[in-house]
Each structure stands twice: as C-alpha cells, then as structure tokens.
C-alpha cells in the first residue's frame, strides 16, 4: 500500500507535483441576472429573489428564537415537575433515539455495526450515554400529555388529515396508522406550545 503522506511530502526536495488550484475568473461566473434567478426557483427577477431571500432569512431567525424560547419553557416545566418516571417510557425514548441514529447512519450508506466498531462502543454504551436525554424526553411527553388533558387541547382533525396525506405522499411505504399518530402528536404539541407561550 502506498504511503500517501510520503507521496505528497515535498520537504528537502523539489516537488514533482504541480499543486496549483485554478481560480475561477470573475468573467467565468454566470451573470447574476433575471434569467439566472429564474433558473434557481419561482422568482420573477433579481429583485423578487432578494426580497424572498430576506423573508426567508427573517423567518429562519424567528424560528430559531421560537425554538430557543420553547426550550426554556420546557426546561422550566420539567425542573418544576415532580413525577414518577416509569422505566418503560425511558426505554421507549432510548429505542427511538437509537432507531433514528441507526436510520441516519444507514442513510449515509454505512452499517450501524461498523459505526459502533469505529466508535469502539456497544449499543449498551450508547444507551447509557443517551439515558439523560431519554429521561428528559419521557418527562416532556408526560408533561405535554397532562397539559393536553387538563386544557382539553387536541389537534384539528382537518389539519391532521392534510398532514397524513402529505406524509403518505412523501413516504409511499409509510404505515397510515403510524402516520396519523405522528401527525396528531406533532400538531397537538404545537397547540400546547402555543398555549404555553400565551401564558
């Protein structure tokens, strides 16, 4: 096997490789005009592109701020709540975390077993590492569920149906019942957070 480091080392001798990276000249770039932005997406012209870009950046900042505030609300509620946390709920959350992790790794074309070998860890090691996160998620689930019951907050049926249709359209192999549960959960939680933010 070639020693890649030695092959590219040039110390004490003249380099045999030409390492020049060609720079892109200004006149080689495509012109930033109406035609160019129209090829990027549904933009009328450069001005429309700039307006939508600014709107998108503003929306992104608003969403980040909203997430930050929601995180503070969650932390406060969890810290103030005293509850008996059933072990089964923690285990379910751990399963979800590991399932997501495994899916992400498979999506990158890697095997989970190889990934674990690379980290020099076992599934049990990961379960220990993620335990605190799983406990937090389980507590949050219990708290949100309780608020939903007390305040009679439920997802809007019409919105749930739309969300399920979108999920099934995007993921053809998705189970309709699981898609429905997921949609109900996401939309109910959104309503609960809106309720909490208004307090």
Please check whether residue 97 is in contact with residue 134, taking contact to mean a CB–CB distance below 8 angstroms. Answer: yes
Residue 152 pLDDT: 93
Percent of the chain at pLDDT > 90 equals: 23
The pLDDT tens digits for 33-68 are 888 888 888 888 989 889 988 998 998 898 888 888
**Weakest mean pLDDT among 1-15, 59-73, 131-145:** 1-15
Residue 26: per-residue pLDDT: 63
CA–CA distance, 75 with 81 (Å, rounded to integer): 10
Q: Per-residue pLDDT for 137 more than 50?
A: yes
Mean per-residue pLDDT over the chain, rounded: 82
Torsion angles phi and psi, residue 73, rounded to 5: -60, -45
């Amino acid at each position: 096997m070639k020693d890649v480091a030695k092959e590219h080392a040039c110390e004490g001798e003249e380099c045999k490789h030409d390492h020049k990276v060609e720079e892109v000249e200004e006149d080689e770039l495509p012109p930033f005009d109406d035609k160019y932005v129209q090829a990027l997406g549904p933009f009328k012209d450069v001005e429309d592109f700039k307006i939508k870009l600014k709107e998108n950046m503003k929306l992104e900042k608003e969403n980040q701020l909203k997430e930050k505030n929601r995180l503070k609300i969650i932390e406060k509620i969890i810290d103030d709540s005293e509850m008996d946390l059933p072990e089964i709920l923690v285990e379910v959350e751990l399963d979800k975390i590991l399932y997501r992790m495994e899916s992400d790794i498979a999506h990158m074309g890697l095997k989970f077993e190889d990934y674990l070998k690379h980290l020099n860890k076992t599934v049990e090691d990961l379960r220990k590492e993620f335990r605190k996160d799983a406990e937090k998620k389980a507590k949050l689930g219990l708290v949100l569920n309780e608020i939903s019951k007390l305040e009679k907050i439920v997802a809007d049926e019409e919105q749930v149906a739309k969300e399920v249709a979108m999920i099934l359209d995007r993921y053809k192999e998705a189970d309709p019942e699981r898609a429905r549960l997921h949609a109900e959960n996401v939309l109910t939680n959104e309503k609960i957070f809106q309720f909490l933010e208004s307090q």
